[in-house]
Amino acid sequence: MSLLDRILRGKIRYGRLTLVSHKGEISHYGERVAGRPDVTLRIQSPAAVRRIFLNPRLGMGETYMDGGVSVDDEDIMGFVELIRRNNPWENGGEIGDPKPLRKLVGQILSPLTQLNSLANSKTNVAHHYDVSNDFYQMWLDKDMQYSCAYWSEADATLDQAQMAKKAHIAAKLALQPGQKVLDIGCGWGGMALYLHKVAGVEVLGITLSEEQLKLARERAEAAGVSDKVRFELLDYRTLAKRAPGYFDRIVSVGMFEHVGVPQFDTFFRACANLLKDDGVMLLHTIGRLGKPGSTDAFTRKYIFPGGYIPALSETLAASEKVKLIHSDIENLRLHYALTLREWYARVRANRDTIIAQYGERFYRMWIFYLAGATAAFEWGGMCNYQIQYIRNRRSLPITRDYIADAECEFQSA
């Protein structure tokens, strides 16, 4: 236990972690405090300890997936929160210079994990989204929005918060009937179908997931709007060569995280060229507080290969090169944490079904991922940005009143 003790000693002050070794030895860390997690972690073998000690960031997740450690009551959310909450991103203290070696290694290695060519992008998307539509239907909202919801009401349901998100985004697009809208990374089609329904626009949704494409087309056909809302298995880079200056509006929700830094310039150049001269774009993406960083090892290996969470600075730096004007920026600081807690609860509620269909290791991987992501948004360095872009400074009203007015109209539609 001494190896883990080196990692944990002094790291937990508020809340209680009880550690039980494979021999039954018990160690306690932190103090019980009302409102803080009180969890028990059980180590099943000496090998589990070594695995975690040698690579804590990746080893803990893998050991949990493989059953080398367990948490009483399956409260992996409480365990991850306990660690993160005692070491929040906002910790005070003096801000020192970054360690030169760590900075250099990050600069060299991080881009190498994000070389998302046309072929790699499709493979990476399939790894995550082509698990099966049935899996995602178990725990997403009815419209299958797999991105940060918008909690305009504290007591809203997940379905209500996702509907509010769509209205919030639609309002920022300043839509007019008959406009042509591009949805980059359209998922299962929910946003595209919504925009057509509330604003009478024509939408092309593009995705690299065959599972998503199939269901999106089925939904458009069932709604009788497949002539106005179309979906294609298509990369944004390919489309940019086919349809320059064609779209009045572009929306992209939860896709930019898959682009990767080496393709940032290409992505924004494609968007700028696809837009008409008076076009508007809304980019909704997970973001990184503070400076650029690197994707955590567990997420990169098991959840989003090729993915990267961008800092606002590098996002704006890339878009500025193609004269996209960032006309409005909103940081949804805690909205994703609320969304993730709902998803986590729903995955746990479907535990037996998921294990029966995909296996226990798969189930453990997902709840560890969702727990870690929740803690990252509550206490770590993650947030969610909505960035509105225009190509002409006169494309939109000069005050934000139009957003609130349209949002109210869409929510009542």
Span 26-81, pLDDT tens digits: 999 999 999 999 999 999 988 998 898 888 889 999 999 999 999 999 999 999 99
pLDDT in tens, 363-411: 999 999 999 999 999 999 999 999 999 999 999 999 999 999 999 999 8
Average the pLDDT over 348-353 and give the result: 98
For the stretch 102-124, pLDDT in tens is 454 455 555 655 555 665 665 65
Residues 6+ apart with CB under 8 A from 242: none
**Rg (the chain; Cα; Å):** 22
Return the amino acid letter for 153. Answer: E
Please tell me the distance from the alpha carbon of residue 141 to that of residue 139, in angstroms, as a whole number: 7
Strand partners, 329: 387
Q: What angle do CA 56, 58, 62 make, to 5 degrees?
A: 110
Percent of the chain beyond pLDDT 90?
A: 80
Reported pTM: 0.90
More confident residue, 315 or 2: 315
C-alpha to C-alpha distance for 120 and 117, rounded to whole angstroms: 5
Which range (18-32, 293-307, 321-335) has the least confidence?
A: 293-307
Instruction: Delimit the CATH 3.40.50.150 region(s) of the chain.
Output: 116-411
pLDDT in tens, 232-268: 999 999 999 999 999 999 999 999 999 999 999 999 9
Region at 359 (left for phi over 0; alpha for psi -120 to 50; beta for the rest): left
CA angle 36, 41, 46 (to 5 degrees): 150
- Tens of pLDDT along 200-223? 999 999 999 999 999 999 999 999
**Rounded-to-integer distance, Cα 274 and Cα 257, Å:** 20
Q: Contact 252/284 with Cβ under 8 angstroms? A: yes
Query: What would the CATH number be for the domain defined by 116-411?
Result: 3.40.50.150
